[in-house]
């Protein structure tokens, strides 16, 4: 999960508004929604991917590699030392565009269907001084905002409408609780909330990466 109950409590969500159990469920749903909208996942996960060799030095896995533990091509195990394999993955560095595994020394991944098998730890993480990195802070924020946006939908219709339109508010009167809405404009292509969508679009997976 990309956020915690404490994150939501820090945003002012009280026990009376939502129990820890309810918030945990919403955080799980929001984290899954982030994955679906971006095409990535943003925490370390162990997985094995089968990729198609194309007769080129590089293959592009569907997630950034954090640590490669096993690499085979056509059943033959390849060495993973730094002098023979270049890994472009996570924790991501400035300029990161896509994950890659590149054989050095003039070698190539032989052509085939699912003939390249890579096992390891994967995930789009950012540097925090550890080997695995952390969930990007922006993604944590997007997860929190999604939960806050959904939370009123569990209550009455007036609260739901206010939560849905809050990003459009340009003026408020606290005494009588009235507010003025800006023109709708572009609500955002992913969630309908432009603040959340700006985060998700910045972290969206490029099209055309290798399939699992």
pLDDT along the chain (212 residues), means of 10: 96 94 96 94 96 94 95 87 86 91 92 95 96 96 94 56 47 52 49 89 80 50
- Beta strands (DSSP E) in the chain are 45-51, 58-59, 65-73, 76-77, 85-88, 100-103, 116-122, 169-173, 178-181
- Assess contact for 117 and 59: CB atoms under 8 A: no
Using CA atoms, how far apart are residues 89 and 96, in angstroms rounded to an integer?
Answer: 8
**Can you give the pLDDT at residue 72?**
93
Using CA atoms, how far apart are residues 146 and 142, in angstroms rounded to an integer?
Answer: 6
Identify the residue whose tokens are 């640590």.
67
**Can you give the pLDDT at residue 43?**
97
pTM for this structure?
A: 0.78
Using CA atoms, how far apart are residues 17 and 10, in angstroms rounded to an integer?
Answer: 13
**Can you give the pLDDT at residue 164?**
45
**Can you give the pLDDT at residue 177?**
54
């Amino acid at each position: 999960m990309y956020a915690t109950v404490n994150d939501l409590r820090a945003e002012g969500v009280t026990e009376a508004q939502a129990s820890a159990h309810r918030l945990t469920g919403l955080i799980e749903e929001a984290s899954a929604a982030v994955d679906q909208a971006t095409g990535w996942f943003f925490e370390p996960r162990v997985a094995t991917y089968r990729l198609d060799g194309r007769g080129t030095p590089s293959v592009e896995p569907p997630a950034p590699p954090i640590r490669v533990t096993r690499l085979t091509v056509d059943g033959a195990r390849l060495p993973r030392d730094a002098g023979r394999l270049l890994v472009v993955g996570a924790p991501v560095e400035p300029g990161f565009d896509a994950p890659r595994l590149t054989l050095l020394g003039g070698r190539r991944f032989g052509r085939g269907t699912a003939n390249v098998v890579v096992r390891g730890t994967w995930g789009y993480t950012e540097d925090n001084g550890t080997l695995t990195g952390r969930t990007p802070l922006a993604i944590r924020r997007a997860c929190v905002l999604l939960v806050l946006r959904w939370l009123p939908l569990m209550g009455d219709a007036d609260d739901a409408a206010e939560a849905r339109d809050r990003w459009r508010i340009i003026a408020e009167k606290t005494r009588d609780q009235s507010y003025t809405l800006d023109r709708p404009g572009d609500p955002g292509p992913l969630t309908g909330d432009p603040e959340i969508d700006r985060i998700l679009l910045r972290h969206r997976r490029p099209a055309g990466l290798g399939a699992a």
